[in-house]
Amino acid sequence: MRPSHHVPSDSDIQPNWRVILLLAPYLMEFKGRVLLSLLLLIAAKVAGVAVPWVLKLIVDDLDLASTAAIVVPAFLLLAYGALRFASVFLGELRDAVFARVTERAMRRVGLKVFSHLHSLDLDFHLSRKTGGLSRDIERGTSGINFLLRFLLFNIIPTIFELLLVALVLFKQFSFTFSVAVIISIAIYIVFSVVITEWRTKFVREANEQDNRSNTRAIDSLLNYETVKYFNNEQYESREYDQHLQAWEQSRLKNRLSLAALNSGQALIIAASVTVMMFMAAQGVVAEEMTLGDFVMINAYMIQLFIPLNFLGFVYREIRQSLINVERMFELLRVEPKIRDLPTARPFITSDGRSVSVEFRSVSFAYDPARPILRNVSFTAAPGQKIAIVGPSGAGKSTIAKLLFRFYDPNEGEIYLGGHNIRELSLDSLRAQFGVVPQDTVLFNDTIFYNIAYGNPNASREEVLRAAEAAHLKQFIERLPKGYETQVGERGLKVSGGEKQRIAIARVLLKNPSVLIFDEATSALDTETERVITQALDELAVKHTVLIIAHRLSTVMNADRILVLHEGEIVEQGTHIELLARKGVYSVLWQNQLHQESQE
């Protein structure tokens, strides 16, 4: 059995705090901004801690002046306002300075994952769910943003502020007040962490159900035509609703557990503030503390618990962000099965110059129990047009996949221009091929964009010439918007024949050394097929052409026809030669003539 890629689900992954170290290199791109942000953070917290102290001085001054003429401590009031503004402004300035660091880190990691996914082999993408994969990337990049913002600017600053307040209370009053504050905060943190750990399973379950419903929705919408063909709109809605129902139940558990967390936190805050107020009130009654001291302690307790009030949420989100980022980095750790050898070299040839293609005793199987190709050998000389025909499941399309190195053969070697393709860099190898597949998928953009995709650097004139060579010119000129006509998602707004001709024009614009047509005329009517076949004959003069076909009428003019049967080449020769042998090809030809006459 071929090894399969395994990307763990949320339930497989535990928060890995080392993920934060993986983000460190992305912070170093803007060292100055990171340092300035930390300095602004410290300044903002110092200003915040100074606010209750100034408030105490104001209250004490007003209290002392109560028996005499009331004197407003103007300087202290101005200082109080300035410090309050500074604590907020410096925090906002810190966020503004650090924003570039966060956004750039998200961009760098997102691009790295995107590029890596394109480097992975076909097996990975055939086994992955597109909807779930897109959510993994989306949550991972958002997780980076959350980690950098809240871990650096919420958890760490809160701890710093707590230590400052404990130090102030110890210096101003007694060790008892510092211990009481630390114990209150410790109880609050332990409760928040324990309950958050308990409810994490509900959050994870909700995320998994969200993934499943999103994957189901995207899968259904991508197969819009199939849904319509079978009148299964109601069935799709019921299926989607079942996923949404499971998601609804998960969300409900999540909400109820959140209510338990918030209620417990509120109880601890109320109890802690009440105890501290009792201690401070006794100090005031005993004339060991002033009224300003009482106000200051109250202000400190409220000020400390405001950021801690979000601790459950922040801790849970940081924990989940660690999982999300870890999932994304897990994608980066998936190794492609097909990759360049350390000694791989680029394939060098003149642009568009035809080259030879050779299979030497190639055998291949996706599953050892079911061989696809058996000891296949053939050579296509430069400029030759070779056709590969045979019944469905004979392994025709697999030959194209092996040439492109989507897979490597289990046995045998493949050569391009006399070079073993394993020894060539993947980028330069794939640049030599132009493929028109049986099921062409177009981008949801204009006809011009889809043709120009074959060579994004091509001029408009070159794009128009490619369209004309693919016999698209008359069709496009009849459209109201011409080349700017939108083809719709996956090309659903153009017919199968038009879609194939756009794909052919796109490949012509790429101007590769080898053209591969994988059932490329299967969706065309007889007249269009005749025109495209004529165009293929013209192309064969300048390119090596491999035509994989089920309809034999498209390959009559091939220089050589290979007949595949159960993964083996059982016959080869020209159309006339193969008919004269009265073998497998002759039977296929007679069957198709009979089928066409019946139609």
- Identify the pLDDT of residue 483: 86
Tell me the CA distances in angstroms from 445 to 448, 510, 542, one per residue in order: 8, 19, 30
127 band by pLDDT with thresholds 50, 70 and 90: low
Quote the CA–CA distance of 510 and 441 in Å, as a whole number: 17
pLDDT at 311: 67
Least confident of 305-309, 455-459, 507-511, 514-518: 305-309
Q: Which CATH superfamily is 10-333 part of? A: ABC transporter type 1, transmembrane domain (1.20.1560.10)
**From the DSSP assignment, how many helices (H) and strands (E) are in the chain?**
20, 10
Contact 376, 569 (CB under 8 A): yes
At residue 391, the pLDDT reads 79
Residue 537 pLDDT class (50, 70, 90 cuts): low
Q: Where are the domains of the chain?
A: 10-333, 357-432+512-598
Strand order in the sheet with 411-416: 373-380, 357-364, 411-416, 419-420
Examine the pLDDT at 414 and tell me if it is beyond 90: yes
Q: Tell me: the pLDDT tens digits for 460-512? A: 999 998 888 887 888 888 888 888 888 875 445 677 778 888 888 888 888 88
Confidence of residue 72 (pLDDT cuts 50, 70, 90): low
Centroid of chain to Cα 256:
31
The least confident of 80-89, 125-134, 257-266 is 125-134
Q: Is the pLDDT of residue 238 over 80?
A: yes
pLDDT value for 440: 77
CA distance 132 to 273: 46
Model pLDDT for residues 252-282, shown as the tens digit of each residue: 888 888 888 888 888 888 888 888 888 888 8
Given a contact cutoff of 8 angstroms between Cβ atoms, the answer to whether 398 and 371 are in contact is no
pLDDT at position 552 is: 81
- Is the pLDDT at 134 greater than 80? The verdict is no
CA distances from 547 to 135, 143, 400, 532 (A): 39, 48, 10, 12
Q: How does pLDDT run across 2-32, given as a tens digit for each residue?
A: 444 444 444 445 556 677 777 777 777 788 8
Phi, psi torsion values for 415, nearest 5 degrees: -125, 140
CATH of domain 357-432+512-598: 3.40.50.300
Length of the chain: 599
pLDDT (0 to 100) of residue 1: 38
Q: What is the pLDDT of residue 509?
A: 87
| pLDDT tens digit sequence for 297-318 | 888 887 777 777 666 667 767 7
At 122, the pLDDT band (50, 70, 90 cuts) reads low
Under the banding of pLDDT at 50, 70 and 90, the label for residue 538 is low
- pLDDT higher at 118 or 30: 30
Specify the pLDDT at position 420. Answer: 92
346-398 tens-digit pLDDT = 888 755 577 889 999 999 988 888 888 999 999 998 888 899 988 777 788 88
Residue 181 in this model has a pLDDT that exceeds 60: yes
The fraction of the chain above a pLDDT of 90, given in percent, is: 7
- Ramachandran region of residue 405, left (φ > 0), alpha (ψ -120 to 50) or beta? left
Question: Which tops the pLDDT comparison, 560 or 154?
Answer: 560
pLDDT digits (tens, 9 = 90+) for 540-554: 667 888 988 877 877
Q: What is the pLDDT at residue 379?
A: 92
Q: 487 phi and psi, to 5 degrees?
A: -90, -10
Out of 106-110, 225-229, 508-512, give the one with best mean pLDDT.
Answer: 508-512
- φ, ψ at 514 (rounded to 5°): -125, 130
565-599 per-position pLDDT tens digit: 888 899 999 999 999 998 888 888 888 887 766 65
Q: Same CATH topology for 10-333 and 357-432+512-598?
A: no
Please report the pLDDT score of residue 9 as a whole number: 47
Which own/partner pairs from 216-221 qualify as long-range (CB within 8 Å, at least 24 positions apart)? 216/131, 216/240, 216/243, 217/131, 218/130, 218/131, 218/134, 219/129, 219/130, 219/131
Residue 381 structure tokens: 């000389």
**Averaged pLDDT for residues 183-187:** 86
The closest of 35, 31, 40, 36 to 157, measured between CA atoms, is: 40
* Mean pLDDT score of the chain: 80
- d(C-alpha 424, C-alpha 343), whole Å: 8
The residues pairing with 549 across neighbouring beta strands, listed in sequence order, are: 389
The predicted pLDDT at position 12 comes to 47
Query: Of 62-71, 170-179, 256-265, 416-425, where does mean pLDDT reach its minimum?
Result: 62-71
